[in-house]
Amino acid sequence: MQFCFIDGRDGYAGKSADYLKKERKDMRDITALHPRLQVKAALLKEECRKQGIFILFGECLRTKAEQDALYAQGRTAPGSVVTQAKGSTYSSQHQWGIAVDFYLNMDVDGDGGEKDDAFDNSTGLFERVGSIAQSVGLGWGGTWEGFKDRPHLYLPDWGSTTTKLKQKYGTPEKFIQTWKDGKVAAAAMEEANKGSSPGYGHRQFIMDVQAATGSNVDGKAGKETLGNTVTVSASENRKHRVVSPIQKRLNALGYNCGAVDGIAGTKFTTAVNSYQKNALGYRNTDGEITAGKNMWKSLLGMI
């Protein structure tokens, strides 16, 4: 499987472990990224670990010169073409510090080694990581129409391209200055602390949902658990017992539901819409968690 660059988005063109050895160290410095991306990347790595998937992060922030060097590859420099974006166009999300690429750090093919499996998607691990990434509030290149950039993760606040960032800030340098005063980092840490509060993890959420919907309580989401889910919205089952665990889970994932009061109100609807847009890639959100459908599957970790 080959990954390439389309419309200002970055990807891998048949890259392997050898590519990682050649990457510049400064392009792999995750501390240079937007603070909220750092938090979500750490959360993703931990959530993946819990599911037996081990990942590391590759390219992070790129300078204009580094982007130009990639553009030259396959043109005026040796190698294959991997990007259509010159550094001066600021079309790569990596230049803005809002994107990071992941790779696998595990023995996928069972040959006793890991180095040759960095981009081995033969068992669909990139789809699994992409689903987990979306559940923690990241955008995933695997959802893009046409071209699928499966290793690519990004903060979805500005969409899937850099157009809005260029219109508002002009250059990556000006944008990066907006988080250098420490306020964004402090907010990111507050969000992280909220999301990792003890006593309410993913398994506890499943158990609470099972208890609220009359399923066998074992902390494992399966056919029975999904089949017993109910539709929840501001107009349907708005005070159902399952609303509280949903509020807790969305809050933990960074989708602000406000106080956990067991009532699906305005903030609940806003959080659901945000999750549908950012985690599930919905174009048209409806503020509803429909029984047995994708949002329930995503929250329960079934997709």
Neighbours of 24 (CB within 10 A): 12
d(CA 91, CA 85) in angstroms, rounded, equals: 6
| pLDDT tens by residue, 169-196 | 999 999 999 988 777 777 766 666 554 4
Q: Tell me, what amino acid is at 147? A: F
Show the CA angle centred on residue 90, arms to residues 146 and 67, nearest 5°.
90
- As a whole number, mean pLDDT of residues 153-165 equals 91
pLDDT tens, 65-117?
A: 999 998 999 999 998 888 888 999 999 999 999 999 999 999 888 888 888 88
| 3-state DSSP assignment of residue 10 | coil
- By percentage, how much of the chain surpasses pLDDT 90? 43
Q: pLDDT digit string (tens) for 288-303?
A: 999 999 999 999 988 8
pLDDT above 90 for 254: no
Does 17-195 carry CATH code 3.30.1380.10?
yes
> Which tokens belong to 59?
């390219």
- Residue 133 in this model has a pLDDT that exceeds 90: no
Phi, then psi, of 82 in degrees rounded to 5: -120, -10
Q: pLDDT tens-digit profile of 272-284?
A: 999 998 888 898 9
pLDDT at residue 200, as a whole number:
53
Contact (Cβ atoms closer than 8 angstroms) between residue 300 and residue 226: yes
Residue 244 burial (CB count, 10 A)? 17
The domain ranges of the chain are: 17-195, 202-299
pLDDT computed for residue 104 by the predictor:
94
9 pLDDT tier (thresholds 50, 70, 90): very low
- The answer to whether 67 and 86 are in contact (CB under 8 A) is yes
In three-state secondary structure terms, 213 is helix
- Give per-residue pLDDT as tens, 27-60: 678 889 998 898 889 888 988 888 889 999 988 9
First to last CA, the chain: 22
* Residue 191 pLDDT: 62
Average pLDDT, the chain: 83
Mean of pLDDT values over 230-256:
91
For residue 272, which amino acid is it? V
Q: How far apart are CA 231 and CA 54, in angstroms?
A: 34
- Verdict on whether the full-model pTM lies above 0.75: no
113 SS3 class? coil
Does 24 have pLDDT greater than 60? Answer: no
Residues in the chain: 303
Alpha carbon 20 to its chain centroid, in Å, reads 21
